[in-house]
Amino acid sequence: MSNGFFKELEDALDNEWISMQDICAIFAGFCPIEPYQSNFGGPDINRRYKRIADGEEVKPSEADFKEMRHYLDKWSLSDFDIQSNSRYPNRIGGNDTVISVRFAFKVGLGFRPLDERICNLYDAAVDAGILPVEPSVPVEELIKQVTPAPKLSQSPLQDYLIKITKYESDLTAGKLFARWEKEKPYCINEIIPDKNEPKSYFLNYRVKFTTHSQKVIESDYGALESAINRAKKFNNKSAK
């Protein structure tokens, strides 16, 4: 989304309800700019679309329409309660269903494997104030994204903390050390446990990371807590 949210995309997301056909097209990278016309439950290949990446009106390829169908199939195979989140709960089925926008992203962020494009769209919509942060999004999966967070501070670690504290307001250094013992993220070099303490005791743990200027720094539990607090303040300031 190099040009930000164009009008049709913002209108679609800044709404309480959305067509399932529309959200599946959006998840596939295309925003419909005309109403859906019945295609026996499949994507509408005749309506006009804008590509979300640049806001250009384009004709999606067959591969793009196939991806829209792929998302529709994921919906049908999911165990989410679509009916209770539908605008018209007694009219589920047929060619299209109208669902809550917030519910649509809750489902999309729950797809496995995690879809980076949906995550990036969700992040951008939250940053733009179009969507609220959902406390129920799968944070454990969101923070495993391969793509590093945007460069917003002096180090990849601080950038990472800025990103994940948008989803976890109760994040602590202990939670991070417990998580990092299972899987080390891209933003740290290593964690150094205290061999004299039980593994579940993290107060004496240390972490090594490299700054954007390639300086290697070793921090302790308290310094990591301070970094988390700075990340929260950054997000609070950005939201104003």
Q: CA–CA separation, 45 vs 59, rounded Å? A: 9
* Gyration radius of the chain over CA positions: 21
State the chain's mean pLDDT as an integer: 81
Which of 84-88, 101-105, 167-171, 211-215 bottoms out in mean pLDDT, i.e. has the lowest?
84-88
Sign of the four-CA dihedral 62, 67, 69, 70: positive
Q: CA–CA separation, 194 vs 191, rounded Å? A: 10
pLDDT in tens, 196-215: 766 667 888 999 999 999 99
Give the per-residue pLDDT at 189. 93
| Average pLDDT for 119-145 | 70
Which of 41-55, 68-82, 127-141, 217-231 bottoms out in mean pLDDT, i.e. has the lowest?
127-141
Residue 195 has pLDDT above 70, yes or no: yes
pLDDT in tens, 150-178: 788 889 999 888 888 877 777 889 888 88
Q: Is 4 left (phi over 0), alpha (psi -120 to 50) or beta?
A: left
| Average pLDDT for 73-78 | 71
| Cβ atoms 153, 201 nearer than 8 A | no
Q: CA–CA separation, 207 vs 229, rounded Å? A: 17
Confidence class of residue 119 from pLDDT cuts 50, 70 and 90?
Answer: confident
Q: CA–CA separation, 1 vs 233, rounded Å? A: 26
Give the per-residue pLDDT at 45. 93
Confidence class of residue 67 from pLDDT cuts 50, 70 and 90?
Answer: very high
